Structure 1
Amino acid sequence: MAALPIGLTYWDVGRLVAIVCLPLLLSCCYVTTVLVCLSVIYVAFFLYRKSTIKRIPISGQGVLITGCDTGFGHEFAKRLDSLGFTVFAGCLSEQSDGAKNLKTSKTGRLHVLGLNITKDDEVLKAVTYVTKVHEKSGCGLWALVNNAGLNMLGDIELCTMEMFYKISEVNMYGMVRVTKAFLPLIRKSKGRILNTTSVKGRLCLPKNAAYGITKFGGEAFSDVLRLEMLKFGVRVIVIEPGNYGGATGMLNEQSLKAIKRDFNAMAEKVSAEVQEVYNAKQYLEDLYKAVCGSSNSTYPGLKPVVDAMEDAVVSTHLNIDILLMEATPSMMYIALLHD
């Protein structure tokens, strides 16, 4: 979106003005009526535009998605397969339950790849595989979806440097590594790159420094990439989900065990002074209990994000800046970056 000299977008300023003025406006019944009418008109216009969005002809174009073992990537791979795309589903392990589930597809268009995005050799192996499939079937690579990611919680003083490095290697540098490897194929098709970041790439929250750094980095990387790819006709789209941890698998039993291991490591490695100031063991135990119960407050399904991903891949209307806020517990933001 267009930015003001102070660093705010016009959208940000509009929201601030609305927040300040809304109580005054609502005190007048006539103004309230007008606002309600305008809201109805806006919703009607939005639904109309949504229903008339043109879609690209789907004829087996290739789409590579990372992080398909669980969550958004897994569901999106199945969605695109059902639509007729040739899907390359990158999974951390080909033996994971998610990978085995994807292999049951009967279309012949869904390819499951072992893909650890922190490993150069595995990324290059994936490029070779996609290229061979293209040479055989002519599917091309229409879109790259950087979806794989890790979650991590903890105060800055408690997180170890190894934890900062680990999550950055996946969430940020993994995105860069995969993008650089597949850009030649995307440039040839004048296709699209979808980068999944987070609402936490726009706002800062306590105990989220390690995670937030990577998501802010993903936002910056995407915007620079957008500017550099304009001359090649390549579009860059950012998907910013909110509170979906309970539905994505980031709060499942396996993930909670990983969080518990991280917390134990924090408690063992902090200095005596930090241990005393935070009462670290009890502090982290209380935080872990809060995390275990947080899945109940997350958005119950993945459909809103998967729908947004589908729109970003198939819509022909990516020359208009769109910023949507869903007024649900998910608080999902979707930003389609444009020229």
Structure 2
Amino acid sequence: MVPVGGAVAMRGDPPPEAVACPNHHVAFHKEKSVPGPEKSPMSGWDQVPAESSTLFSQWPTRAQRKTPAVKTPMATILAATRISRPLAQLATKTSHLKDVSASLRPLPEICSSVSRLQGRRSYATEVDEIGERPVLITGCDSGFGFALAKHLHERGFIIYAGCLLKEQGRGGSKDLDAMKSDRMRTVQLNVCDSEDVSRAVDYMTSTLKMPEKGLWGLVNNAGISTFGEVEFTSMDTYKEVAEVNLWGTIRTTKAFLPLIRRAKGRVVNISSMMGRMANPARSPYCITKFGVEAFSDCLRYEMRPHDVKVCIVEPGNFIAGTSLYSPERIQAIADKMWDELPEIVRRDYGRKYFDEQIAKMESYCNSGSSDTSPVIDSIAHALTSSTPYTRYHPMDYYWWLRMQVMTHMPAAISDRLYIY
């Protein structure tokens, strides 16, 4: 190939006015010539040495070659993606972030470009004086929030653990209060209730040792989940999930941002891998997590001038470690869902199909990891690193590869691989 006027001419082809790049919808045009003597259509080729021109003339054109288009068989693509399942069995548990460089990229010759984009997680560059920095965590009744509150307390932070069930004396608040620590304080906090959020702000402002220094970290962890295809899901369910996962995150963030800005601190929003790739039968959850991702990106842009860092943690399948779904809860949700379905939907789909979808959900819940430490490590890194990452992906090999395929490959391929 020979460069012509800023473009690239392929052998056997005349020099075009513009060479288009089909993958990126960009055309590289030749520079416009200044007024002067008219040049021949082949101007630009007159710079090519004579021996090279002779060589080019001997090459057949594309039409003469009649090379058939090479198509990759779908069977080959399907076989290639199936390697992700065996790879997931190489590790006994979900990888920790500090093991990423050694284990999360099992095929460096395939994933090397991705590895360079991702970068390596480093725990060496931490902020100064981690201890005595206040952090508010929502959703500490169980799951990630409860485990994170205890972990950060051990690291020396002052913890404000927001608990939905504190006033009822149930859930994680009871165990956290039993620690009898000056650095562990539970707060009644329903992220769906603006008055509850305002009272939490007042309580924190009045109990901070140095209110003028603000709040170092806010971890928006509170969330709920459900399942069911679009026609199986009521509008009330959509609104309920959005009220907690999306509006609750926004409501809490807006209330505490003045304290966060004062400290030049951190906002860490717990999203999900389903905030990056949609999944059938999970539309209420996916919608809200996609919204959390967009909100976090917008907030990150706006907070940059204030030296406030905004991070997103996108956990994989950790349902088994969050107590969101027990077999009894899944069945209770399914029974209620079926009873509330319109008659036409029940008749068209049938109970057999409905039960098959519920069985798939039970299988998904049972396949998740019960070790939540990768998620806890990710959040801790976002709060303690002097250069935190925008996004963290604590998940096993299969889900990491699936997320790359679903977010970067054409839908015609990713849909065939994972949906149909």
Residue 266 in structure 1 maps to residue 330 in structure 2: no
**Distance in 2 between residues matched to 1:180 and 1:321, nearest whole Å:** 20
* Alpha-carbon displacement from aligned partner over 1:286-329 (angstroms, at most 9, x marks no partner): 433443444431112110000010000011013x6666575446
**Distance in 2 between residues matched to 1:59 and 1:89, nearest whole Å:** 17
**Distance in 1 between residues matched to 2:180 and 2:212, nearest whole Å:** 20
* Alpha-carbon displacement from aligned partner over 1:134-183 (angstroms, at most 9, x marks no partner): 15787731000000000110000110000000000000000000001000
| Residue aligned with 1:301, SS | coil
The structure 1 residue matched to 2:156, chosen from 81, 84, 89, is 84
State the AA in 1 paired with 2:219: V
The structure 1 residue matched to 2:268, chosen from 186, 194, 198, is 194
**Distance in 2 between residues matched to 1:331 and 1:96, nearest whole Å:** 36
Aligned-residue RMSD, C-alpha? 3.0
Give the Å deviation of 1:194.
0.3
More helix by share: 1
Moved more, 52-61 or 193-202: 52-61
**Distance in 2 between residues matched to 1:100 and 1:139, nearest whole Å:** 29
Give the Å deviation of 1:241.
0.3
**Distance in 1 between residues matched to 2:207 and 2:213, nearest whole Å:** 7
* Alpha-carbon displacement from aligned partner over 1:226-281 (angstroms, at most 9, x marks no partner): 1111111111000000100000111236xx42x444323321222222111111x4
Any residues of structure 2 matched to 1:56-135 within 5 Å, and which?
A: 56-94=128-166, 95-134=169-208
**Distance in 1 between residues matched to 2:212 and 2:395, nearest whole Å:** 38
State the AA in 1 paired with 2:383: V
Contact 1:133–1:139 at 8 Å: present in 2 too?
A: no
Contact 1:117–1:177 at 8 Å: present in 2 too?
A: yes
For 1:159, the equivalent position in structure 2 comes to 233
Q: 1:59 to 1:139 in 2, by over 3 A?
A: farther
Any residues of structure 2 matched to 1:227-246 within 5 Å, and which?
A: 227-246=301-320
Contact 1:298–1:330 at 8 Å: present in 2 too?
A: no
TM-score, normalised to structure 2's length? 0.64
Any residues of structure 2 matched to 1:298-313 within 5 Å, and which?
A: 298-313=368-383
For 1:316, the equivalent position in structure 2 comes to 386
Contact 1:226–1:236 at 8 Å: present in 2 too?
A: yes
Which residues of structure 2 form unaligned runs of 5+? Answer: 1-22, 26-75, 81-106, 404-420
State the AA in 1 paired with 2:164: L
**Distance in 2 between residues matched to 1:302 and 1:139, nearest whole Å:** 32
**Distance in 2 between residues matched to 1:52 and 1:234, nearest whole Å:** 21
| Residue aligned with 1:89, SS | strand
**Distance in 2 between residues matched to 1:56 and 1:282, nearest whole Å:** 59
**Distance in 1 between residues matched to 2:129 and 2:146, nearest whole Å:** 23
For 2:297, the equivalent position in structure 1 comes to 223
* Alpha-carbon displacement from aligned partner over 1:97-118 (angstroms, at most 9, x marks no partner): 3211111223311111111110
Contact 1:55–1:316 at 8 Å: present in 2 too?
A: yes
**Distance in 1 between residues matched to 2:130 and 2:219, nearest whole Å:** 17
| Residue aligned with 2:268, SS | strand
**Distance in 1 between residues matched to 2:340 and 2:249, nearest whole Å:** 30
**Distance in 1 between residues matched to 2:123 and 2:148, nearest whole Å:** 21
Contact 2:213–2:262 at 8 Å: present in 1 too?
A: no
Contact 1:299–1:330 at 8 Å: present in 2 too?
A: no
Contact 1:62–1:139 at 8 Å: present in 2 too?
A: no
| Residue aligned with 1:249, SS | coil
Contact 2:205–2:211 at 8 Å: present in 1 too?
A: no
For 2:244, the equivalent position in structure 1 comes to 170
| Residue aligned with 2:311, SS | strand
State the AA in 1 paired with 2:236: E
**Distance in 2 between residues matched to 1:159 and 1:294, nearest whole Å:** 19
TM-score, normalised to structure 1's length? 0.79
Contact 1:241–1:331 at 8 Å: present in 2 too?
A: no
How many residues end up aligned between the 2 structures? Answer: 297
State the AA in 1 paired with 2:246: M
**Distance in 1 between residues matched to 2:392 and 2:175, nearest whole Å:** 34
